[in-house]
Structure 1
Amino acid sequence: MTDQSTNFPFWSGSQAEQERLQYAIQAAQVGTWNLDINQQQLWWDERCRELFGYEGQNVVSYSQMLMLVDEEDRPRIEKAIESTLNLSSTGHYDVQFRVSGASLIDPPRWLHAQGRAYVDIMGSAYRLSGVVRDITAQVRTRQQLEISKARFRSLVVNSPTATVFFVGRDIVIDTVNAPMLQIWGKDESVMGQPLQQVMPQLAGQPFVELLQRVYDTGESYHNDKAVGQIMVDGQWQESWFNFSCNPVYAQDGTIFGLINTANDVTAQVVALRESEQRYRLLSEELEIRVAQRTRELAEANEDLKRTNDNLQQFAYVASHDLQEPLRKIQQFGALLKTEYANQSEQENNYIDRMQLAAGRMSNLIRDLLIYSRISTREQVVMSIPLDSVLAQTLVDLELVISESQAVIDAEPLPVVMGDALQLGQLFQNLINNALKFSRVDNAGNPAIPHITIRTQRTAYSQLPPALRPARQAEAYHRIDISDNGVGFDEKYLDRIFQVFQRLHRKNEFVGTGIGLAICQRVVNYHGGLITASSQLGQGATFSVYLPA
Structure 2
Amino acid sequence: MKSDNDNKDYFFLQNNSECTKLIRNFNWETTPLGSPEKWPVSLRSTLAMMLSSQFPMFVWWGEELIQFYNDAYRQSLGDNGKHPLAIGQRGEDCWPEIWDFVYPKIRKVLDEGESFWYDDLLLPIFRNGKLEDVYWTFSYSPLYGDDGAISGVMVICNETTEKISDKRRLGDDKNELEFAVEAAELGTWDLNPETGAFTANARLKEWFGLKPEETIPLPLATSVIAEKDRERVNSAISKALQSQSGGHYDIEYKIIHPITGNERIVKAKGKALFNDEGIAKRFNGTLQDISEERKNQELFRSIIEQAPVATSLFAGKDMVIEVANDIMLGYWGVDVSAIGKPLAEAIPELIGQPFLQILDDVYTTGITYTDKAAPVRLVLNESPSTYYFDFTYKALKDARGKIYGVMNMSVDVTEQVLLQKHAEEIQRQVLESFEQSPVGIATMDSDNLVYRTANPFYGQLVGRSPEALIGKPMFEAIPEINGQGFDILINDVIATGIPFIAKEVVVSIRRNEQSEKIYVDLTYQPRRNASGKITGILIVAIDVTQQVLSRHVIEDAQLALKSTVDLAKLATWNLDLPSGIFSYSDRFRNWLGLPNEISSIEAFYQILSKKDSENLKHAIASILNPESESLSVFEYEITNQTTGQKRIVSANAQIFYDADGEPEHISGTAQNVTKERKLQEELKFLVKERTLELESVNHNLELSNHELQQFAYVASHDLQEPVRKISVFIEMLEATLNSVDPKAKNYIDKIKSSSGRMSNLIRDVLSLSQLSNVIPVFERVDLGQITNETLTELELVIEQKGATVNVSGLVPIDAIPLQMSQLFGNLISNALKYSRTGIAPEISITGKILSAKEIKFSPGNHSNWLQVEFKDNGIGFDQQYAEKIFNIFQRLHAKQDFAGTGIGLAICRKIVQNHNGFINAQSVENEGAVFTVTLPMHQL
**Larger RCO (CA within 8 A; separation ≥ 6):** 1
More helix by share: 1
> TM-score, normalization: structure 2?
0.27
